[in-house]
Amino acid sequence: MDNFAFYSPTYFAFGHGAEAQAGSLVRRFGGSRVLIHYGGGSAVRSGLIDRVKSSLEASGIPYTLLGGVKPNPRSGLVYEGIDLCRRERVDFVLAVGGGSAIDSAKAITAGAVYDGDFWDFYSGKPIENALPVGTILTIAAAGSEGSPDSVITLEDGMLKRGATGDAIRPRFSILNPALTQTLPPYQTACGITDIMAHLYERYLTNTPDVEVTDRLIEALLLTMIHEGPRVMADPDNYQARSNIMWAGMMAHNNSCGVGRTQDWNSHNIEHELSAKYDCAHGAGLAVTLPAVFTYVMEHDVMRFAQVAVRVWGCQMDFAHPEVTARAGIEALRAFLISLGMPRNLADLGADPADIPELVRVLCRGNGRNGAISGFVTLTEEDCANIYRLMV
């Protein structure tokens, strides 16, 4: 195991009705003028925004509203939010929604206290200062409720990039699994896929002797394999929703990624798909993960065989471990398809003729130097081969 620092100070309020604590939690974490930032309307239709407003009013906290965050959140609304925060002297941003509303809120909090262009942070500058941000999560997926990360798409060029910094870790996150019961099945499945991807991105490591984090990841993957079909069959199953919601947080607050190198090539490859075709991030990952794993499997066949045996229940073929490794990848692919996830680029609305452009933006965009690195280093040719495996 490598040396590491682990800092994860988010306060979590979990369970039925937890959103009623919004006002008192904003107060507790120093907010006195709030921007409520939310998505395309699901939180309005469910009555959640009204309950959040009531909670803030009960705590005597004035607020202003900015809705309209799109999935794969865009830079334009971030600039608008930054202006609004300055104009209204907002000192706390409360995101209500999924990864998109939360990531947009995080970008606003960093930009509101910065003299330059907030996009600097999405071009590699670490985020050191930000207004405090809190979240009320409505979809278990991105893990942004417990992460120091934010992913935004620059409208000029549709470049999707991430920024990071402890300053944008949520001060608190409210997790009420019942709020996820209104999700369309497709979005529930996208969330399950993203959570599993966050686990795999950490599982693919070059660090030896990481038994504790390997076992944590395997436990969370097994949980998703158990609860995923249960929630797809019965969307109102509060207990299944609860397990998935907490697994989604644990998959991405890095408690199971410490002390080991991680991959993230699949995420980088997928981000080009959701940037260009505006598909759901989880849907893009369902197509990306099996292709990447098939391509890089030879780098460490025993690691892929291990997850195949321990998580997918495959029989170990000691004479031919690559057979076991491949069986595990196929089990993942079949599981994601069983949830209703897409199989290939065509299902995502992507055109194979775009592959050269996808590769160029992936490997050259925003100062990259012709390759991406993680579990293995992937050149432009490798990335093109991987996209071709998705056809």
* CB of 19 or CB of 145, closer to Zn ion: 145
Residues 110-169 that bind ligand NZQ (CB under 6 A): 138-139, 141-144, 147, 149-151
**Which pairing describes strands 92-97 and 133-137: parallel, antiparallel, or unpaired?**
parallel
* CB of 21 or CB of 193, closer to ligand NZQ: 193
| Tokens at 162, concatenated | 């991430």
What b-and-e string marks burial along 109-118, b requiring 16 or more CB atoms within 10 Å of the CB?
A: bbbbebeeeb
Interface with Zn ion, residue 382, by CB under 5 A: no
Minimum distance of ligand NZQ from residue 323's CB (angstroms) = 31
Q: List, in sequence order, the alpha helices (H) in 29-74.
A: 42-45, 48-58
In the Cβ-directed half-sphere of 353, how many Cα atoms lie within 13 Å?
Answer: 0
Count of residues engaged in binding ligand NZQ, rule: CB under 6 A:
36
| Contact between 296 and 260 (Cβ < 8 Å) | no
Residues 79-98 that bind ligand NZQ (CB under 6 A): 97-98
Sign of CA dihedral 372, 167, 179, 153: negative
Interface with ligand NZQ, residue 268, by CB under 6 A: no
| Tokens at 371, concatenated | 């390759």
Scanning the structure block, which residue is given the tokens 């306060």? 11
Instruction: Write the binding mask 26 to 45 for ligand NZQ: x where contact by CB under 6 A, - elsewhere.
Output: -------------xxxxx--
CA distance 275 to 378: 20
Interface with Zn ion, residue 201, by CB under 5 A: no
Q: What is the CA radius of gyration of the chain?
A: 20
| Contact between 26 and 134 (Cβ < 8 Å) | yes
List residues bridging with 38 in a β-sheet: 96
Residues 6+ apart with CB under 8 A from 177: 15, 140, 238, 241, 242, 244, 245
Interface with ligand NZQ, residue 247, by CB under 6 A: no
Interface with ligand NZQ, residue 223, by CB under 6 A: no
Count of residues engaged in binding Zn ion, rule: CB under 5 A:
1
Residue 100 binds which of Zn ion, ligand NZQ, none (CB < 5-8 A, kind-dependent):
ligand NZQ
Segment lying near ligand NZQ (by CB under 6 A), choices 52-60, 180-188, 302-310, 363-371: 180-188
Interface with ligand NZQ, residue 390, by CB under 6 A: no
Instruction: Write the binding mask 179 to 198 for Zn ion: x where contact by CB under 5 A, - elsewhere.
Output: ---------------x----
Residues making contact with ligand NZQ (CB under 6 A): 39-43, 71-73, 97-101, 103, 138-139, 141-144, 147, 149-151, 179-180, 182-183, 187, 190-191, 194, 252, 267, 281-282
Site residues for Zn ion per CB under 5 A: 194
